[in-house]
Structure 1
């Protein structure tokens, strides 16, 4: 039984991983792990992996003889490999796909992030029309805030942004970061960015990691516990569903 299990295990794992990949792509959840431009490539490669796995099984020698001195260690190592690889493959199917959270954002330094540093230029935005301003994401506003903290620059510029809540370390009762991740290739290289939002007692109405849409303006930070020069002061703040593509690119 052991030789048979080892012979078929590779194909079982390939089938499991391929099935999980195709299912994630079909349900539009593969973008929780990789950049959308790689979805088609990933599905194609999964199909190729399936074909190669079946072919390797077909041409693999039936003999399972091995030296007696190596048989014991081979079984131990093989058993551990089966256990680990099986757990990884099965987790793709059992564990619900989800986005990166505020915990990851905090670990990757959302405050010092330089993500999207070239997404918007102060000179170009100074006299931008309302339509362009309305299209700005968290990444765009974060880029502008790194370039200038002059309150007059943000006069008559209304932000309308969507993101998830990450609590501030300096003044968590009154300030949180409206956060998003940007992805270049996959979730492993995801980098957080965000804008500070001043909303006293926000935790009474919203939870950490909850997705919200905020409309408001950037003003001088009224918090005495935070050294951020400007914060987004909401005019409206509404809980929303997580976007189908939660990462920015």
Structure 2
């Protein structure tokens, strides 16, 4: 056997490296095609991840062809890592295979409560009413727009009677009366790891069995003011409640 002829061990390591790269390419492209990226990263990164997946898959196919034709002699020509070659490759391959087998799940009420969603997380208001004029039509605001507006001017009386048309998923904090729930959305800035919930109290008619926790709803109504735990807060009094499917992009910027 010549010095340039790879032995079986080297060939196995080379094929393992190529398989790991190819698996990651397939995983990223799968997430891009089936919409899983929408629950994992901010939309700004969709194109980058899709292109990266395509590049990894192309590299895997090219290197497979080169190895098959005998143009790669050893695994070292493929690999550069701070970890030992076998360990790094198995970590990459194992993670990719796990991602292909297990489908990431959308955040639910449990994650929202764990990340701070509650009536206390709604903006605390001032004791005195002050003048305020909104520059955006209230019915055009998303739930996140409402919360941001309240963060800028946390006086609920400024919004009395304004129309609302918002959507999100249902939360039932323990300290709310039975005819209230919190409508929530997660805000994402980079990826799912930094997502955090924002919520608004909704006053509705009916029972909690009518609108199960984690169900997605479109709420039309008007802004009123209620008092929770001694603090006045803006509440949306629902005049129309419509179940909706989970949005393709469940997060908002």
TM-score (norm 2): 0.73
Q: How does 1:1-249 map to 2 (within 5 A)?
A: 5-53=12-60, 55=63, 58=67, 61-62=73-74, 78=86, 82=90, 85-111=92-118, 112=121, 123-125=132-134, 128=135, 132-146=137-151, 147-151=153-157, 153-171=158-176, 173-199=178-204, 202-221=207-226, 227=231, 229-249=233-253
| 2:24–2:57 contact (8 Å) kept in structure 1 | no
Alpha-carbon separation, structure 2, partners of 1:17 and 1:108: 30
Q: Which runs of 4+ in 1 moved over 4 A?
A: 1-5, 51-61, 77-81, 84-87, 225-228
Structure 2: which 5+ residue stretches go unaligned? 1-7, 77-83, 124-130
Structure whose CA Rg is larger: 2
| 2:22–2:56 contact (8 Å) kept in structure 1 | no
TM-score (norm 1): 0.74
Question: Secondary structure at 1:92's aligned position in 2?
Answer: helix
Between 7-16 and 49-58, report the one with greater CA deviation: 49-58
Q: Deviations over 1:6-28 (max 9, x none)?
A: 43223223222211221222233
| Change in 2 beyond 3 A, CA 1:43/1:200 | same
| Change in 2 beyond 3 A, CA 1:41/1:159 | same
Alpha-carbon separation, structure 2, partners of 1:2 and 1:39: 38
Structure 1: which 5+ residue stretches go unaligned? 65-73, 115-121
| Change in 2 beyond 3 A, CA 1:4/1:243 | same
Question: How much does 1:2 deviate?
Answer: 6.9
Question: How much does 1:80 deviate?
Answer: 9.9
Question: Secondary structure at 1:22's aligned position in 2?
Answer: helix
| 2:188–2:252 contact (8 Å) kept in structure 1 | yes
| 1:110–1:194 contact (8 Å) kept in structure 2 | yes
Between 33-42 and 13-22, report the one with greater CA deviation: 13-22
Question: Secondary structure at 2:50's aligned position in 1?
Answer: helix
| Change in 2 beyond 3 A, CA 1:2/1:210 | farther
| Change in 2 beyond 3 A, CA 1:188/1:208 | same
Aligned residues: 224
Question: Secondary structure at 2:201's aligned position in 1?
Answer: strand
